[in-house]
Chain A
Amino acid sequence: MTDLPEKTDRKMGLVIDLDTCVGCHACVISCKGWNTENYGAPLSDQNPYGADPSGTFLNRVHSYEVQPEQGAAQLIHFPKSCLHCEDAPCVTVCPTGASYKRVEDGIVLVNESDCIGCGLCAWSCPYGARELDLAEGVMKKCTLCVDRIYNDNLPEVDRVPSCVRTCPAGARHFGDLGDPGSAVSKLVAERGGMDLMPEMGTKPVNKYLPPRPKDRIDDQIDILAPLLAPVAEEPKGFIAWLDKALEKL
């Protein structure tokens, strides 16, 4: 058993906009690239050119079809990585203390030198956010790019997780969700940001912004109908209208 800190100074995390995510996987591969080269063991790939390629990823995008009661089916792209839960079961279940939550920013990390690859943390995580690296035998997970966000070797503007820096649609936001005045907290408040599976009691720090309601263009037709009132029914009448309209110009 490993203890969680009683409280963390900040609650750093991601806010992911499901209304804007186009499902391009840019975040997935940028994450793979940064975290292969940086923190801890590389993210390995088994059978990368074979029949059943399977590599370690810290961030994946899933796509779900949603069929509303009325209207056309929708497709939601859903990026998922560690949510850096306040009550992270993956930490408390760790038998060696390798999994821990940082006091200063709430980031959940794995100390790879203490990890025995038992997989209990992955089993306890309700989100499936941890992956055991098969080459190294250690548990890998999102570090929130802890080696970027404080890195003096990077320009200040780049001190964000690589997934946030790369997201072409701007659907990923990073900040302190413990500070109600932060840009991310305001965004969550404005857009009705949600916890993922709150019933699990993990108190995830990451938040998701829900998609806006879709396929509402017909709803406003009563208001807009006057805009389409014909100026004429026949070409001849239209030309007469045109002539008058041109006079006014």
Chain B
Amino acid sequence: MTFQQPQIDTSPPVSDEVRKTTCYMCACRCGINVHMKGGKVAYIEGNRDHPVNKGVLCAKGSAGIMQVNAPSRLRAPLKRVGPRGSGEFQEISWDEALEIATSWLKPIRESDPSKLAFFTGRDQSQSFTSFWAQNFGTPNYAAHGGFCSVNMAAAGIYTMGGAFWEFGQPDWDHTKLFILFGVAEDHDSNPIKMGIGKIKARGARVVGVNPIRSGYNAVADDWFGITPGTDGLLILSLVHVLMKAGKVDLDYLARYTNAPCLVIENPGGDDHGLLLRDADGKVLVIDRATGELAPFDRPGVRPDLTGTHVQNGQTCHTVMYKMVNRYLSEEYAPEAVADRCGIPAPRIRALAAEIARVAFDEAFEIDQEWTDFRGEKHHKMLGRPVSFHSMRGISAHANGFQTCRALHLLQILLGTVEVPGGFRFKPPYPKPVEAHPKPHCKATPGAPLDGPHLGFVRGPEDLALKPDGSPARIDKAFTWENPMSSHGLMHMVISNAHAGDPYRIDTLFLYMANMSWNSTMNTRGVIDMLTDKDESGEYVIPRIIYSDAYSSEMVAYADLILPDTTYLERHDCISLLDRPICEADGAADAIRWPVIAPDRDVRGFQTVLIQLANLLKLPGFTDENGQARYTDYADYIVNHQRKPGIGPLAGFRGEAGDKAGRGEVNPDQLNRYIENGGFFVEHVPDAARYYKPWNAAYQDWAVGMGLYDSPQPYLFQLYSEPMRRFQLAAEGHGDRQPPDRLRSRIREQLDPLPIWYETDQQGNQGFTINALTQRPMAMYHSWGTQNAWLRQLHGRNPLYVPTKIMREQGLEDGDWARVTSPHGEIVVPVMEMAALNDNTVWTWNAIGKRKGAWALETDVPEATRGFLLNHLIHELLPPRGDGLRWANSDPVTGQAAWFDLKVRIEKAADPEGRSESQPAFPPIKSPVGTGPGQLKWKVGR
């Protein structure tokens, strides 16, 4: 028969209205178009005009509709009525919740503000939450950077005034060789995918250095399946080969880095190893034109990389001289590092050769005049099209800070930072250490803290120590154990508070931090610490306040729950004062606004903080008469000014809304953002697009935008003086002295030039296999693993085991294996993976769930076969018999060394009948029940 095809409507209405806001399904913060039908969310897509995602959207973003309707959403404030951990709660009113919180916090503030520890897992309103904590007066505040990627962030700032991700990006339009170190499937999300797509469309090469060949590494043209923790060694070997071949950009090094600066030679003196400075404190170089000393920034100076200066009979050499002497050493030759890195020497040489070829043989010029900070005019911008990107893979090791520094050293030696084709900063970066605050820790009863909590120490004088030398902060950030801990150490808070080391606290206040589950090391131990009682029957950590939008594992361990909204029900600002969303060619910020109203008795966390501040009459939030300055977060976003004319949002300032960066408060600002699609962008002028740290046009533009108060040109710090100052202290110089037990470690590991060292292997005898985690792209940085759509993609997390170990242990897919570390053991299902470093196992992090959490049924695979590697990782290193607690953290920054984990693996006995991963935990009672048995989501009819 002849078929008559039906008539269909190919042009149906899509939605009643599109509301443009900012995604919060991860930390990428893309622009989204929320299509509304009948007042409900019908469909979410990317916003084409938005600077971050330019229209695309990842799986999480599109699954946002399942997040705002998730059955795990908390519904009302909760007061604990059963023992901690039972999940027994009573719903209470907001009035009662705020009254309870105030009754706990007010006496603390009046007696000893440091008895409050306030830590936020999500850190996208840090400039606001830190302002709150500062006005409360506690020194104990930080976000999650300490257990995430502080090594990356801090090494970048200390070396070149910015790192990767929100600090900068490859020049996607020009780069011809893109090399990823330790970036699995994350950090950041859509921009990296878009960039790889662009590079591949041009036929350019992508190289992945990672023990696991998944995600971005799966599409890399060349994969280097490196042994975890040895990236720094590989990088310094590349430095060795390139330097030896003269493949370094000498002009760039001389002009823009401290390579020509002179290092004081004065053995035994308190300035030995510092840089030679003039009376104004400016670093000095030898001017090649005159052969004389000159300040680095004098107009016309030609800094000499090989200059010397004799002072007090001692010859001072340049930083370049020191680098040559270190990195030409045969200890960095490919043949010397190949076995440890797990990469054959010829492949290391091949990578170095390809880098050299692209950086130097494919150098190009952009026809753009610019003027540098010495007043010299350049007619072109020289491009070197090699770019790097890196994240947690190299960062989350106890040698991560030095490894990140080594990577920056490599990029800078090649002259590829802030040049066409290389790595580019995003405003407000570049920003040298000098433009950042120092940490503050002086707590006074009834008064604000003496300054911002977090910052960048310049030397021992900036450490957060009490007059008696003991740590001022509960997490021991900015102490001799980890002096440059710019993001704090969230992973040590509960452990230290429980141990009363350095002191006891009264109230632990957490926001979106799953510290009784996947966001902590030593999960079982931390659960015990949260529920432990002292002799008097009181909890050792007396009070815990927690804010979350969802029924996460942490809820059961708090005494008071302040339920947050979902991201479509709230105001937020993605601020230049915070973790920005800029692009290399523009400064940008954005808002969230309530595109739907909450259908539960919940409040945005930031608004709750303002309500608490008003009840506590915190300065900064209330005026001299105790009257509230802000009613809610939206009010704060518009009306708060950090400095005159500078507020949380840079766009549409001034009475007419026509000022960018600096300008008076505009009461209509949020509406202007909404009209503009939820964001604001101010483009960098053409002459300011590259060479930003030294480019006068960029510096002037940045001052105009309020990013700096005055031009801040600076040299890249290949040699880090702050690190040298800590070494000097360890050598006995200065008033502030480290404890003797730390002297040798500081001398060795705070080397002012990048080094590589093996991380502490004490206690690891017999544990030889590296164990790692990563998040899948569809769940990266996400609070959404219970999402109905996303959990169908990644509902299971076997331990992926390389073929060699599978064979050695007689394992087959689906078998149960016992995985043991010096700290504990787990029994988990395994699956073979060939595209994996031979001596590394891994799993997806945070798939494993506690029974009863997240409104999931108790028999879900996440809770039965899912597991956490966290049980094998302790926040402390194994005891050394010295009675001291040694943190499992980087000795420079305190970054949690998650990826230093070493394990043993064997087939589990009695696999028959086994149905659950071990350790298995009893269910916790859900405050929200479980979700429906079927979804048929359609709001349009």
A interacts with B:
yes
Residues on A facing B (Cβ under 8 Å): 2-3, 5, 17, 19-26, 28-30, 32-34, 36-38, 41-42, 44-51, 53-55, 57, 63, 65, 67, 72-77, 97, 100, 102-103, 109, 111, 135-136, 146-147, 149-154, 157, 162, 165-171, 211-212, 214-218, 220-221, 224-225, 227-235, 238-239, 241-243, 245-246, 249
User: Is the Cβ of A19 less than 8 Å from the Cβ of B200?
Assistant: yes
The 8 Å CB contact of B223, one of A36, A152, A215, is: A215
| Any A CB within 8 A of the CB of B793 | yes
The 8 Å CB contact of A30, one of B45, B244, B247, is: B45
Complex Cα distance A42/B789, Å?
Answer: 13
Complex Cα distance A34/B45, Å?
Answer: 9
User: Is the Cβ of A45 less than 8 Å from the Cβ of B788?
Assistant: yes
Q: Which residues on the B side are within 8 Å of A241 (C-beta)?
A: 246
User: Is the Cβ of B786 less than 8 Å from the Cβ of A168?
Assistant: no
| Any A CB within 8 A of the CB of B56 | yes
A36-B938, A49-B856, A215-B223 known; A26+B196 contact, CB < 8 A: no
Q: Which of B11-19, B659-667, B756-764 lies at the interface with chain A?
A: B11-19
User: Is the Cβ of A24 less than 8 Å from the Cβ of B788?
Assistant: no
Complex Cα distance A151/B938, Å?
Answer: 19
CB-defined A-B contacts under 8 Å, sample of 21: A24-B185, A26-B58, A30-B62, A33-B65, A37-B938, A48-B935, A49-B860, A50-B856, A55-B935, A63-B218, A135-B936, A147-B11, A153-B13, A166-B57, A168-B56, A168-B58, A168-B190, A217-B354, A230-B244, A243-B306, A246-B254
| Any A CB within 8 A of the CB of B6 | yes
User: Is the Cβ of A245 less than 8 Å from the Cβ of B835?
Assistant: no
Q: Which residues on the B side are within 8 Å of A65 (C-beta)?
A: 833-835
Min CB distance B206 to A, Å, is 10
Q: Which residues on the B side are within 8 Å of A54 (C-beta)?
A: 792
The secondary-structure label for the interface of chain A is loop
Complex Cα distance A49/B69, Å?
Answer: 13
User: Is the Cβ of A25 less than 8 Å from the Cβ of B59?
Assistant: yes
Min CB distance B504 to A, Å, is 40
Q: Which residues on the A side are within 8 Å of B356 (C-beta)?
A: 224, 227-228
Top-9 shortest CB links A-B: A49-B931, A73-B834, A168-B193, A224-B353, A170-B197, A48-B788, A231-B246, A169-B197, A24-B777
| Any A CB within 8 A of the CB of B324 | yes
Min CB distance A33 to B, Å, is 5
Interface string of B47-71 (1 = CB under 8 A from A): 0100001011111111101000001
Q: Which residues on the A side are within 8 Å of B306 (C-beta)?
A: 239, 242-243, 246
Q: Which residue of A lies closest to B225 (CB)?
A: A72
User: Is the Cβ of B321 less than 8 Å from the Cβ of A239?
Assistant: yes
Min CB distance A242 to B, Å, is 5
Q: Which residue of B lies closest to A170 (CB)?
A: B197
A54-B792, A147-B12 known; A228+B3 contact, CB < 8 A: no
Q: Which residues on the A side are within 8 Å of B251 (C-beta)?
A: 249
Q: Which residues on the A side are within 8 Å of B937 (C-beta)?
A: 36-37, 42
User: Is the Cβ of B213 less than 8 Å from the Cβ of A29?
Assistant: no
A147-B12, A165-B55, A227-B353 known; A3+B1 contact, CB < 8 A: yes
User: Is the Cβ of B213 less than 8 Å from the Cβ of A73?
Assistant: yes
Q: Which residues on the B side are within 8 Å of A75 (C-beta)?
A: 213-214, 218, 835
Which residues between 5 and 64 of chain B lie within 8 Å of chain A, taking CB atoms?
Answer: 5-6, 8-14, 35, 37, 42-46, 48, 53, 55-63
The 8 Å CB contact of A246, one of B221, B305, B931, is: B305
Additional pairs, 13, CB under 8 Å, beyond known A26-B62, A231-B245: A24-B59, A26-B61, A37-B940, A53-B788, A73-B213, A150-B10, A153-B14, A166-B56, A214-B223, A221-B349, A224-B356, A227-B353, A228-B352
Complex Cα distance A73/B833, Å?
Answer: 9
User: Is the Cβ of B59 less than 8 Å from the Cβ of A48?
Assistant: no
A-B contact count (CB 8 A): 312
Q: Which residues on the B side are within 8 Å of A50 (C-beta)?
A: 856-857, 859-860, 930-931, 933
Min CB distance B862 to A, Å, is 10
Complex Cα distance A29/B64, Å?
Answer: 10
Complex Cα distance A216/B223, Å?
Answer: 10
Q: Which residue of A lies closest to B3 (CB)?
A: A3
Complex Cα distance A135/B242, Å?
Answer: 63
Which residues between 114 and 138 of chain B lie within 8 Å of chain A, taking CB atoms?
Answer: none
Q: Report which residue of A19, A26, A50, A136 has the largest number of chain B beta carbons within 10 angstroms of its beta carbon.
A: A26
A228-B352, A228-B353 known; A162+B45 contact, CB < 8 A: yes
Q: Which residues on the B side are within 8 Å of A230 (C-beta)?
A: 244-245
Complex Cα distance A25/B231, Å?
Answer: 29
A28-B793, A29-B59 known; A20+B3 contact, CB < 8 A: no
User: Is the Cβ of B934 less than 8 Å from the Cβ of A45?
Assistant: yes
User: Is the Cβ of B14 less than 8 Å from the Cβ of A3?
Assistant: no
User: Is the Cβ of A49 less than 8 Å from the Cβ of B930?
Assistant: yes
User: Is the Cβ of A227 less than 8 Å from the Cβ of B11?
Assistant: no
Q: Which residue of A lies closest to B351 (CB)?
A: A217
Q: Which residues on the A side are within 8 Å of B288 (C-beta)?
A: 246
The 8 Å CB contact of B196, one of A22, A73, A162, A221, is: A22
User: Is the Cβ of A157 less than 8 Å from the Cβ of B45?
Assistant: no
Complex Cα distance A77/B55, Å?
Answer: 22
User: Is the Cβ of B218 less than 8 Å from the Cβ of A100?
Assistant: no
Complex Cα distance A3/B356, Å?
Answer: 61
The 8 Å CB contact of A20, one of B42, B71, B197, B353, is: B197
Q: Which residues on the B side are within 8 Å of A22 (C-beta)?
A: 185, 193, 196, 215-216, 218-219, 777
Complex Cα distance A107/B238, Å?
Answer: 53
Q: Which residue of A lies closest to B37 (CB)?
A: A37
A33-B44, A75-B214, A221-B346 known; A38+B58 contact, CB < 8 A: no
| Any A CB within 8 A of the CB of B320 | yes
Complex Cα distance A246/B65, Å?
Answer: 60
Complex Cα distance A100/B5, Å?
Answer: 7
Q: Which residues on the B side are within 8 Å of A211 (C-beta)?
A: 219
Q: Which residues on the B side are within 8 Å of A51 (C-beta)?
A: 857, 859-861, 864
Q: Which residues on the B side are within 8 Å of A25 (C-beta)?
A: 59, 777-778, 793
User: Is the Cβ of A246 less than 8 Å from the Cβ of B250?
Assistant: yes
Q: Which residue of A lies closest to B317 (CB)?
A: A239
Min CB distance B864 to A, Å, is 8
Min CB distance A155 to B, Å, is 8
Min CB distance B193 to A, Å, is 4
Min CB distance A34 to B, Å, is 6
A22-B215, A154-B14 known; A246+B304 contact, CB < 8 A: yes
Min CB distance B305 to A, Å, is 6
User: Is the Cβ of A47 less than 8 Å from the Cβ of B933?
Assistant: yes
Min CB distance A201 to B, Å, is 21
Interface string of B314-357 (1 = CB under 8 A from A): 00000011001100100000000000000000110111111011
Q: Which residues on the A side are within 8 Å of B791 (C-beta)?
A: 48, 53
Min CB distance B126 to A, Å, is 26
Complex Cα distance A212/B44, Å?
Answer: 33
User: Is the Cβ of A74 less than 8 Å from the Cβ of B835?
Assistant: yes
Q: Report which residue of A47, A53, A169 has the largest number of chain B beta carbons within 10 angstroms of its beta carbon.
A: A169
Q: Which residues on the B side are within 8 Å of A48 (C-beta)?
A: 788, 791-792, 931-932, 934-935
Complex Cα distance A215/B35, Å?
Answer: 44
| Any A CB within 8 A of the CB of B745 | no
Complex Cα distance A77/B13, Å?
Answer: 34
User: Is the Cβ of B777 less than 8 Å from the Cβ of A23?
Assistant: yes
User: Is the Cβ of A235 less than 8 Å from the Cβ of B246?
Assistant: no
User: Is the Cβ of B62 less than 8 Å from the Cβ of A216?
Assistant: no
Q: Which residues on the A side are within 8 Å of B3 (C-beta)?
A: 2-3, 5, 97, 100
Which residues between 228 and 253 of chain B lie within 8 Å of chain A, taking CB atoms?
Answer: 241-247, 250-251
